[in-house]
Chain A
């Protein structure tokens, strides 16, 4: 039971018709969150990509074949957050003030129960010790703790940036942050401006307006996870993907 009043509900809106699958969000996320380059043996299943952009096709033959790029990260589930309830270590917690589902790698046992529970496959296990080329550690982000082999990690809406925004607000004597001061790295990096981020509880926020579109949907909404990441596409076949289990390169 939350005893503190939630003051914000941070969420994201992704326009799939704007996304060109360039990968800028993926790289920006990795740089911001000190995600190490892939171990030589890593692949799409064993790698660590907090932000993963999947390529899904409509299954039609050429030239009717079309693809959509789907950026997928932790959907910040609001209702009965699956990963929270299964964690034996209390390593996952929902921040009541922001709605952000946080991961505490230092408490993580590596049982991967949360990965099983997550219907979006948005959690990643460190199969290997993260390693950076010699000298590159000088360029790591000091606001994000590195993780070790054997723990799970995931997107947390660049929680470090939220803290920086809160410190800035506090230094200026304000109790609330300036929305312009808190943008996850992926949103900031997107060249097509396909990602919109903000406080879903604030009706004046761009993200609140965007999620009202008739073409907006959430993935696997039938599971009632209360995902705070919304997607939109004018293409009917893309919206129809929402309730399917999709893998990359196919429907």
Chain B
């Protein structure tokens, strides 16, 4: 063999190898070798366990089963057999276990050095913050007329809520406040209308034959989602008709039997138009008319709203208004309003007009309507009548504590600022993360994240009986997280409040368990056994707590049906306020801005980063700063899809990205208040109000509709 032979052999081998599997195998294997990159996360290893518990990210309180590896939850699924949530978890709840590691997690107490455009968060020690806040509280108390102390509890009704009330009772003149936008709005007004203010009510949807909903997102986040979806599936068989009133063909409206596209801001006129038909066609039962004390005033109020007049103002055909009234009267009906997660509640007149319809159709206190449920028995002595935050006098709050729990519904930062005293006062936010209201706060106390502490998941608004369920502690708490009850106790001690009970969330829960057990009412449903047992069959409060911490739910006994013996329809308001709507509701031709959002997703800090799948990596849900417009309206304004547009209201201007949406009524601008789940924004600046900064907050504390102009930016 000579050199030429060797070269021929080498060349032939190379050529031959190309026709063999070798190069492809090398290519293949190199792909595998290079997959060993340093960023590969180490997957958890360890024993697999399952825990039943409840989600407390919103008042829905959905039951869930957590699959845990090495003690950490990796997957959450709904519990199908649960009597209320029926196997459903919303997208926010499905990734709730990720929240403990959210990039916006507060990792220590902090404060803004000063409220200015350049403010940054500065870490502080817990003891320093408590000491400073105690001095502030003492200073407020020592200056009568200098402002009040207020706790804004976004999830009233918990054992912790009672503790806040106890704390406030040590400060004369202090206020226990609840959010202005609450799902309980209809129920609260109905209760007040029939002379039972403060009585909790639920909705007996399963036995209703007609549901007239004013803007309630029944199939998109209201109440207990699992129950609402199950109810919707059963409607075909049960014949229950859903009539949805809103200016958008929303997810709920598209599945309703009838969609009444009322002009935004004219819902009260529609309700009064329906009331007109009910009265003038003699459709109100005599036994109901007999109980109404202000029937004459109501007649005066509805007199101008003949269906043709109401139709002209609302754009809902007169025939539809008449048909709706007749249907409500003929069947077992219930009428609901609900806040928009970003836009808040309707104005007072609308809420009253809608609540009045429930009285007229006799839905209050009867099967298939608004049904009374008992309050959970309490042992704590202190009670404070809750006040709506919106009803507090402007510039009256010197010290405001924002509770950590989220109601799922937003509050405009401008409303918070409006209620604070002239120099801004002191705002303390208890929260696991920076969130929507962080731009208003001066001090931050990091609360435990979801699943880090046993918490109460309260009664969903739509349920006809009181319930208690607990979110168990599936994760170890971070060392910096402060139990809200402990913070209150420490603050009270630092402020030298004598006789104040030092409690923790655990001891407060224990008290609640004792109260529920001692009352002897209700049943416990257990997810593991899928059985229901009377509370009285349990060994004691410890057994009750154990059952709830194992994912069970306590269901109260139903309250006996009790039709009202007296009622009012106008909530004490003069009829002239309603007749004035004839003039005030007419469209000015101006575009109307409506902030829009999806429950529990109006701020980045409150949703897990993986929700970028629906907010950023798809168009399924609009992320923040998107302005949606009907294509026809956009064409008239010379705008196209994707344009950067400037929205201007009396409150300011903001640039947003335009999205064309033909499900929106012409003339309506729907601006999203939503998260940017994985943007991990820098801490919100004091003026970071976002879209809500454009909304004019009215005298009654509502901000649902604001006149706006739009132009290319």
Question: Of B225-233, B294-302, B365-373, B512-520, which binds chain A?
Answer: B225-233
Partner of B618, one of A49, A67, A136: A49
CB pair A135 B249 closer than 8 Å: no
Question: Of B32-40, B114-122, B440-448, which binds chain A?
Answer: B32-40
Partner of B39, one of A24, A63, A105, A148: A148
Q: Does A1 contact B (CB under 8 A)?
A: no
Residues in A neighbouring B620, C-beta threshold 8 A: 21, 23, 26, 53-55, 69
Tell me the complex Cα distance, A107–B663, Å. 45
Question: Of A30-38, A171-179, A202-210, A220-228, which binds chain B?
Answer: A30-38
Q: Which of A93-120 contact B (CB under 8 A)?
A: 105-109
Residues in B neighbouring A30, C-beta threshold 8 A: 95, 610, 613
Q: Does B126 contact A (CB under 8 A)?
A: no
CB pair B618 A248 closer than 8 Å: yes
Question: Of B66-74, B151-159, B207-215, B280-288, which binds chain A?
Answer: B66-74
Q: Does B612 contact A (CB under 8 A)?
A: yes
Residues in B neighbouring A18, C-beta threshold 8 A: 233
Partner of A139, one of B44, B45, B664: B44
B-side interface size class:
35 or more
CB pair A20 B220 closer than 8 Å: yes
CB pair A132 B41 closer than 8 Å: yes
Partner of A53, one of B259, B616, B618: B618
Q: Does B609 contact A (CB under 8 A)?
A: yes
CB pair A192 B233 closer than 8 Å: yes
Partner of B610, one of A35, A65, A137, A191: A35
Task: Decide: A135 near B101, CB < 8 A? Known: A35-B613, A89-B31, A106-B35.
Answer: yes
CB pair A20 B616 closer than 8 Å: no
CB pair B229 A136 closer than 8 Å: no
Tell me the complex Cα distance, A21–B620, Å. 7
Partner of B74, one of A21, A23, A142, A193: A142
Q: Does B374 contact A (CB under 8 A)?
A: no
Residues in B neighbouring A90, C-beta threshold 8 A: 28
* A154 smallest CB distance to B (angstroms): 14
CB pair B37 A62 closer than 8 Å: no
Q: Does B621 contact A (CB under 8 A)?
A: yes
If over half of A's interface residues share one DSSP class (helix, strand or loop), that class is named, otherwise mixed; here it is loop
CB pair B89 A24 closer than 8 Å: yes
In the complex, which residue of chain B has the Cβ closest to the Cβ of A247?
Answer: B619
- Mask, A130-164, CB within 8 Å of B = 1, is 11111111111110011011010000000000000
Q: Does A82 contact B (CB under 8 A)?
A: no
Partner of B75, one of A88, A141, A146: A141
CB pair B75 A32 closer than 8 Å: yes
Q: Does B665 contact A (CB under 8 A)?
A: yes
Q: Does B7 contact A (CB under 8 A)?
A: no
CB pair B220 A57 closer than 8 Å: no
* B66 smallest CB distance to A (angstroms): 10
Residues in B neighbouring A22, C-beta threshold 8 A: 90-91, 220, 251
Q: Does B254 contact A (CB under 8 A)?
A: yes
Residues in A neighbouring B502, C-beta threshold 8 A: none
Residues in A neighbouring B219, C-beta threshold 8 A: 20, 192
Task: Decide: A57 near B662, CB < 8 A? Known: A106-B32, A140-B44, A148-B40.
Answer: yes
Partner of B91, one of A23, A129, A149: A23
Partner of B43, one of A26, A39, A63, A146: A146
Partner of A106, one of B31, B42, B225: B31
In the complex, which residue of chain A has the Cβ closest to the Cβ of B478?
Answer: A135
CB pair B614 A66 closer than 8 Å: no
CB pair B31 A27 closer than 8 Å: no
Q: Which of A41-64 contact B (CB under 8 A)?
A: 42-44, 47-49, 52-55, 57, 59-63
CB pair B91 A26 closer than 8 Å: yes
CB pair A23 B254 closer than 8 Å: no
CB pair B39 A191 closer than 8 Å: no
Partner of A107, one of B32, B97, B229, B632: B32
CB pair B610 A27 closer than 8 Å: yes
Question: Which A-B residue pairs are the 10 nearest by beta carbons?
Answer: A47-B617, A65-B662, A37-B609, A38-B612, A137-B41, A23-B614, A191-B88, A135-B101, A27-B91, A136-B101
Binding site for A on B (CB under 8 A): 24, 27-28, 31-32, 35, 37, 39-45, 69-70, 72-78, 87-91, 94-95, 97-98, 100-103, 219-220, 225-226, 229, 232-233, 249, 251, 254-255, 259, 261, 608-614, 616-621, 630-632, 641, 659-666, 677-680
Q: List 11 A-B contacts (CB under 8 A).
A: A24-B90, A31-B76, A31-B95, A37-B610, A66-B254, A89-B31, A108-B31, A133-B103, A142-B43, A185-B75, A191-B90
